[in-house]
A = this chain, B = another copy of it.
Amino acid sequence: MQMPQPDQSVINRRETLAAGLTRIVGAQWVIVDEAERRPYQCDGITAYMAMPLLVVLPGSTDELRQVLRFCHDNAVKVVPRGSGTSLSGGALPLEDGVLLVTSRLCEILSIDRENRVARVQPGVPNIKISEAVHHLGLCYMPDPSSQLISTIGGNVAENSGGVHCLKYGVTANHILGIEAVLITGEVIRLGGAFLGGAEGELDLMGVLTGSEGLLAVVTEIAVRLEPLPEVARVISMSFPSVEKACECVGAIIGAGIIPAGLEFMDRKVLDAVAALIRESFDSRTEALLLCELDGTAVEVDALVQVVNDVARSQGAIETKVSTTQEERERIWSSRKLAFSAIGKLCPDYYCTDGTIPRNKLPEVLNKMAQLSEQYGLDYANCFHAGDGNLHPIIMYDAAKPGDLEKAEAFGADVLIACVDAGGVLSGEHGVGVEKRDLMTHQFSEIDLQQQQMVKCAFDPGELLNPGKVFPTTCRCAEFGRMHVHKGNLRFADIPRF
């Protein structure tokens, strides 16, 4: 996206708003200067860029409330952002909107060992929670690859997954309570905080989780802490074909085992990793599965045996089981390095994340091979096989005219193939800008309309992160009012305010 030359009215508006915001958070925390705004112009998907009108970093929940109320009263759009690791453009700024960054709200407020709950502010990086409770033998389970920097607030907004979500579930399964601020500046508190459920209310905590910043800005999160597994061992299994590896995924789950993680890497990824770490993989290997098993020592030993037997009977060329923590980390390192390794192979890559029923893996992977030929772009596969959560890595060269568009079209076709195979557009990265225009492929008009009615119930003026997720604007905002007549919602055709 190209930045148009700002005209004087934009400059004036920026100055007026900056003055108002400065009164709330102090001049230091309102970023007006263009050079200083530049680092915020994209999130984890660099293909989409926009320069925010202003960046504001509130230092407390109260300041954040005042910022939202100020924006609301001045009809300014607001894009919330954590560390900006979204892979779907969820934190892409708006040129006419304020970028609200939560990174200063980064305190762990309390740790309740007895009830296994930590209360944290949204800007706390995911990994910091596990670090803070490690001495208690506890951890916070969801582990997105970005966990070193991605914030828990961003994780809630995207309902993030990670390698271990196969066994332990995604962010939504680990959140016990949320405090959030509506666009009006009003505070809502959702969920049973110390408890497992959100009974006795409409589950607004659930609807907020994964709502990609469209409904409210989360200011406090009560997360569930889990005991650290006694033992974790990983088994690496190499296969002579992609099909055989996919069949083995089904066979492991079919054997009644839910591994802590079950990851797939194809030959191209292995070659890239091998080049990076100067190790080699068996030349007959076309696909590798990494299967982590955790629990008590006796349980894990028994499971490792079963998975090993399944892999052998499914035609694995070789299996390796970690016997020490060091070996376990070495085996996992290939997976952890996969994306950086691919980055060395090509100038740019584009990664998306449709999800499909496990038994459709061979079908959709074949489709990818066809699409690669059709678009003339190379790709590699490294994904969460146990969840059927695909992460095709499409390689392109942004400097080559038309290449990005081809990569996007390739990615879109993969996502359509996912939906057509009975899957969904996203596994863990959200819809954001990237998959917005594909929503109509997954959802009926009624489904989308109902979702937008719920958006409207939170943010009728459509000021919070507009332009994300939904391919059209919210109808009730668009038409300025809703009118209920005999239980029928009618949209009066009135020009927008």
Contacts and interface: CB of A to CB of B under 8 A. Distances in A.
Nearest to A211: B202
A423 interface: yes
A359 interface: yes
Interface stretch (A10-18, A22-30, A275-283, A457-465): A457-465
Given A194-B422, A296-B302, A207 B204 contact: yes
Nearest to A435: B200
Contact of A206 (B206, B388, B456): B206
Given A296-B302, A451-B204, A358 B497 contact: no
B203 A210 contact: yes
Contacts of A200: 424-426, 430-431, 435, 439, 442
Given A183-B487, A192-B355, A450-B457, 13 more contacts: A114-B358, A159-B203, A169-B196, A189-B447, A195-B356, A195-B424, A197-B424, A199-B355, A199-B427, A203-B211, A227-B256, A298-B298, A461-B486
A374 B490 CA distance: 53
User: What DSSP secondary structure best describes chain A's contact surface?
Assistant: loop
A442 B206 CA distance: 18
Interface string A120-154: 00000000000000000100000000000000000
B202 A115 contact: no
Contacts of A488: 72, 184, 460-461
Contacts of A202: 207, 210-211, 214-215, 451, 454-455, 469
A485 interface: yes
Closest 5 CB pairs of A and B: A461-B487, A206-B206, A453-B457, A200-B426, A227-B256
Interface in A424-454: 424-428, 430-431, 435, 439, 442-444, 446-447, 450-451, 453-454
A426 B197 CA distance: 9
Interface in A148-176: 159, 161, 165, 169-170, 172-173
Interface in A249-268: 250, 253-254, 256
Contact of A357 (B115, B211, B355): B115
Interface of A: 72-73, 75, 113-116, 137, 159, 161, 165, 169-170, 172-173, 182-184, 186-190, 192-204, 206-207, 209-211, 214-215, 227, 250, 253-254, 256, 295-296, 298-299, 302, 355-359, 387-388, 422-428, 430-431, 435, 439, 442-444, 446-447, 450-451, 453-463, 469, 476-477, 480-489, 497
Nearest to A453: B457
A469 B200 CA distance: 8
B254 A114 contact: yes
Contacts of A462: 487
Nearest to A180: B450
Residue in A201, A444, A455 whose Cβ sees the most chain B Cβ within 10 Å: A201
Nearest to A76: B487
B454 A204 contact: yes
A114 B246 CA distance: 13
Nearest to A428: B199
B250 A114 contact: yes
Contacts of A463: 487
A115 B359 contact: yes
B195 A210 contact: no
Contacts of A453: 457-458
A362 to B, nearest CB: 13
Given A423-B195, A486-B75, A114 B461 contact: no
A428 B186 CA distance: 29
Contacts of A428: 197, 199
Residue in A298, A428, A443, A453 whose Cβ sees the most chain B Cβ within 10 Å: A453
B454 A199 contact: no
Contacts of A430: 199-200
Contacts of A113: 254
Given A299-B298, A461-B488, A203 B206 contact: yes
A165 B199 CA distance: 13
A59 to B, nearest CB: 23
6 contacts: A159-B203, A161-B197, A188-B444, A197-B355, A202-B451, A204-B451
Contacts of A189: 444, 447
B387 A196 contact: yes
Contacts of A209: 203, 206
Contacts of A116: 253
Given A201-B443, A210-B203, A256-B137, A422 B489 contact: no
Contacts of A206: 172, 203, 206-207, 209
